């Protein structure tokens, strides 16, 4: 004897599928948010690295100018 499936069983299965899909959608949205956050952090890090490179170049230029001025002062003091 073959029994026909109970329609209530399908409703329960459908509810479980919808619940599972909803959880997956929430998880996907969370992962998207994490990716966006990490992307923003990466941009900030890249900006900081760029600022650091600029500061290093300025420091090198200032040190070179200081050295040239020191050399010029030494030469002037020798002449005087």
Instruction: Flag whether 16 is in a domain.
Output: no
Instruction: Flag whether 65 is in a domain.
Output: yes
Number of domains in the chain: 1
> For residue 55, what are the domain limits?
48-80
At which residue do the structure tokens 């029994």 appear? 3
Instruction: Flag whether 74 is in a domain.
Output: yes
pLDDT interval class at 3 (50, 70, 90): low
DSSP assignment of 16-64 = HHHHHHHHHHHHHHHHHHHHHHHHHHHHHHHHHHHHHHHHHHHHHHHHH
Instruction: Flag whether 61 is in a domain.
Output: yes
Residues 14 and 73: their CA atoms lie apart, in Å, by 88
Asked if the model's pLDDT at residue 21 lies above 80, the reply is no
Asked if the model's pLDDT at residue 80 lies above 80, the reply is no
Residues 17 and 9: their CA atoms lie apart, in Å, by 12
Residues 35 and 25: their CA atoms lie apart, in Å, by 15
In terms of pTM, does the model score above 0.85? no
Average per-residue pLDDT in the chain? 87
């Amino acid at each position: 004897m073959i029994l026909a499936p109970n329609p209530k069983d399908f409703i329960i299965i459908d509810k479980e599928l919808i619940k599972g899909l909803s959880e997956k959608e929430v998880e996907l949205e969370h992962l998207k948010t994490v990716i966006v956050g990490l992307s923003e952090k990466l941009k900030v890090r890249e900006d900081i690295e760029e600022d650091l490179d600029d500061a290093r170049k300025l420091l090198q230029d200032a040190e070179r100018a200081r050295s040239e001025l020191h050399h010029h002062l030494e030469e002037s003091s020798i002449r005087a």
